[in-house]
Amino acid sequence: MNKDNYSISKLLRLIGCFVFDIAMIIAFFKAFAFFSILAPVKSVLMLIVLLIGLAALNCAILIPDMLLKKLGVAFTAAIESLLIAYAVAANIISVYLISGSVVWYIVWQLIILSVLIVLISIIVSFAGRESENIKEAETEEISKSQINLQILNIENAIMSKENSEDISQIKNSFKALKERINASTPFGRITGNSAVLDIENRIKKNLKNLQSMLESALTDESMAEINKLLEETRRLVINREALNIR
């Protein structure tokens, strides 16, 4: 749905809610006109309950797009169902209880409203956790992809040097590093540990430097530096696992 169609849909929903609200308010005054004269206080209470119910219905119709982005389909459907159920239940109970005690009428309406608030808060809480899990999974996937891409680039750089220099030691060191990374906990999965995050950033920086060095002309000095950096990076991966276990 493009922006124009979305705007038209939202406008039509807004107009529909407004027309429905006006119709329900007119119907209320038509149905309870005589009652309003006999019991004005109770009539006002019924009208307030009706308006709150209409507000709940309007929310269920007008805000699903915003909720879908933040909470997902299942949680949005649950909240909308609760809002509609509240609007219906509150007004049905309003009609049946208004002839009795005003105090008990208010008590029951507050109980229904509190149940709605508690249930919605529980749903939002679960939705928040689900959202955090999704974000963590996305972060992990991005980190894994970055590491895998860096490993692949280094591997290609090593392969491109095979015919020009004796780099068997570099190949062995890189193989040991690659195996260590593949056997370790995926990057981005460990959260809430600043030490682990710092080591992951250092590993990524080392891999980037290794790629840059391997893509340049190799000398005895640079190869020694590469081997040293490979070994340092492998130790960092091991230290990362040790910190995670703690």
Task: Please report, in tens digits, the pLDDT of each residue of the chain (246 residues total).
Answer: 555 566 777 788 888 888 988 998 888 888 877 676 767 788 888 888 999 988 988 888 887 777 776 677 778 788 888 888 998 899 888 888 887 888 888 899 899 999 999 998 888 888 777 777 777 777 778 888 888 888 888 888 888 776 655 778 888 888 888 888 888 877 877 777 778 888 888 988 988 888 888 888 777 888 888 889 989 988 988 888 777 655
Concatenated DSSP letters for 134-146? HHHHHHHHHHHHH
CA distance 49 to 59: 15
pLDDT the model gives residue 165: 58
Radius of gyration of the chain (CA): 32
Instruction: Check: pTM over 0.95? Answer yes or no.
Output: no
Cβ pair 196, 244 in contact under 8 A:
yes
**CB neighbour class for 152 (10 Å; exposed up to 12, middle 13-18, buried from 19):** exposed
DSSP assignment, residue 2?
-
Q: CA angle, 231 as apex, 225 and 237 as ends, to 5°?
A: 135
CA distance 192 to 184: 18
pLDDT the model gives residue 114: 92
pLDDT the model gives residue 5: 60
Concatenated DSSP letters for 205-227? HHHHHHHHHHTSPP-HHHHHHHH
- Short-list 50, 30, 39, CA closest to 99: 39
For 108, the enclosing helix (H) or strand (E) is helix 102-160
What residues have CB less than 8 Å from 67, skipping those under 6 apart? 75, 76, 79, 80
CA distance 95 to 145: 60
CA distance 80 to 116: 11
Q: CA angle, 47 as apex, 43 and 53 as ends, to 5°?
A: 145
Amino acid at 203: I
Map tokens 């919605």 to a residue.
120
CA distance 7 to 240: 50
CA distance 11 to 44: 31
